[in-house]
Structure 1
Amino acid sequence: MAALLAVAVLAGACDRPAPEPEPTATGAPTPAPDLVVLTDVDPRIRTDIRYATAHTFVGRPVAGYDEPLCLLTRPAAEALRRAQDAALARNRSLKVYDCYRPQSAVDDFVAWGRRPGEEQAKGEFYPRVAKSELFDRGYLGAPTAHSRGSTVDLTLVDVPTPPQPAYDPGRPLVPCTAPRAQRFPDNSVDMGTGFDCFDPLAHTDSRGVDATARANRHLLRSLMTDAGFVNYDREWWHYRYRDEPYPDRYFDVPVARSSAR
């Protein structure tokens, strides 16, 4: 599948302008990325692939997420395994929310952003920002490092890990900025906000969250930095593998086991 230009994604994924697709020596398009299923590399890492569910900021499953899997380049997956080793030594485990993200998902975000009437998830994910301002304020942008296959959104959970209630779409929405006991019952340790929270409180070093949340964010950053990842400072959950194998390519294979090698 050819590498494609990304046109929109969460602000934390905006790394550099997307290049034109690079032809091979024979003139054929760039082949699909070499991706693995994370749980095949390390089954100890928890997964909670939100974009394959209705619990998203668009209020429904996202295009391109055919299966609830974390796909990553092998170097990124192996680095994440090293981070998991270090987390388990502290009685914590990694839990991933999103990994490789296809171009079709990015296109879905853009189309959603252009439809002002679709705001069914506003009360949770962007309660203090008008949808019309999400692009201008940088919460949505272009392109996405996720489409290069070496970027991951994740958190920490305790070990043993408490169960997480199934998402109930009929449950009243609670702002992602609310205290942990009030917002969606994620089994993550307290990070001060929910995942995909479009708010300054989600900035990794925000002083607006309490000491416990700050300590948890800093532990996650320490574990990931030691494993070779770089945090995006406006999203406590967003990490890019520093030595990613496809630094200038963006892909559009679906999130499915058939896309792994």
Structure 2
Amino acid sequence: MKKLILFILLGISFVNFSQNIPKGFVYLDSIVPSIEIELRYLSSNNFIGKPIDGYKSNCIIVSSEAAKLLKKIQQELLKKGLGLKIFDAYRPQQAVNHFVKWAKVLNDTLMKNQYYPNVSKSKLFKQGYIASKSGHSRGSTVDLTIINSKTGKELDMGSSYDFFGTQSHYSYKNISKKQKENRMLLRKIMLANNFKPYENEWWHFTLRNEPFRNTYFNFLVN
């Protein structure tokens, strides 16, 4: 039997499930096994430089509604010799708490050169790179890119995933024509399938009319 602990804070619910994922969520590879997965927060290849709390397996968990549309998008891309690669989807609240705790330790800048070379760590909160809650914890937000389905190589988007800076803004102009086209390709197919973009991160999309818009979950990615 699932153990459920429900916290109510300012009208927003935080839910902690042990063992089974809650109803309304699925493991994406059970729906679309052809989608490439590189769960960055499971490894040390991320802006902190260490595995993040709450990530235990290289699997993607999303709401059932988001999974159905990601399957449709993948099918469309495969016809063009392309495919999706997902870096993050559902994110436990404990992972967000890990980010917040890290951001307050100003001398921990292990990955600064790679992920935020032009941003002072002391300004990560003010500039919106780190926050106490994330839409990812609601289960219908995904961080992703497009790859060549034969080689697995990522299309060049003009900046790397999770790069903190204006280069990651969708409208950033100082990139090549091909890089702009690649960003447009991703944006266009996501918009056409009911995902809304986040303008400051070319890789970040949230399902419109997401099913858990006021609930921030905290079960493990396992």
CA pair 3-135 structure 1, distance change in 2 beyond 3 A:
farther
CA pair 2-250 structure 1, distance change in 2 beyond 3 A:
farther
Structure 2: distance between partners of 1:188 and 1:217: 12
Equivalent residues in 2 for 1:200-211 (5 A)? 200-211=166-177
Report what 2:13 is aligned to. Answer: 21
The match for 2:37 among 28, 31, 47 is 47
**Structure 1 position 66, deviation (Å):** 1.0
Report what 2:58 is aligned to. Answer: 68
Percent sequence identity over aligned pairs: 34
CA pair 94-4 structure 1, distance change in 2 beyond 3 A:
farther
Structure 1: distance between partners of 2:168 and 2:7: 29
Provide Cα deviations, 1:148-205, integer angstroms capped at 9, x if missing partner.
Answer: 001100000012024xxxxxxxxxxxxxxxxxxxxxxxx3110000000000010112
Q: TM-score, normalised by structure 1?
A: 0.78
Secondary structure of residue in 2 paired with 1:141: coil
Report what 1:249 is aligned to. Answer: 215
Structure 2: distance between partners of 1:4 and 1:87: 40
**Structure 1 position 244, deviation (Å):** 1.2
Structure 1: distance between partners of 2:126 and 2:158: 24
CA contact (8 A) 1:204 1:235 kept: yes
Secondary structure of residue in 1 paired with 2:85: strand
Provide Cα deviations, 1:26-51, integer angstroms capped at 9, x if missing partner.
Answer: xxxxx945311111100011111100
What amino acid does structure 2 have at the position aligned with 1:200? T
The match for 2:147 among 133, 146, 157 is 157
What amino acid does structure 2 have at the position aligned with 1:68? N
Report what 1:79 is aligned to. Answer: 69
Tell me the C-alpha RMSD between the 2 structures: 2.0
Structure 1: distance between partners of 2:23 and 2:185: 31
The structure richer in strand per residue is 2
Structure 2: distance between partners of 1:236 and 1:84: 18
Report what 1:11 is aligned to. Answer: none
Runs of 4+ aligned structure 1 residues displaced above 3 Å come to 1-6
CA contact (8 A) 1:2 1:21 kept: no
What amino acid does structure 1 have at the position aligned with 2:93? Q
CA contact (8 A) 1:42 1:81 kept: yes
Q: How many residues were matched structurally?
A: 214
The gaps in structure 1 that reach 5 residues or longer are 7-17, 24-30, 163-186, 257-261
Structure 1: distance between partners of 2:126 and 2:93: 21
Secondary structure of residue in 1 paired with 2:83: strand
Equivalent residues in 2 for 1:151-190 (5 A)? 151-162=141-152, 187-190=153-156
Q: TM-score, normalised by structure 2?
A: 0.91
CA contact (8 A) 2:42 2:51 kept: yes
The match for 1:191 among 157, 165, 176 is 157
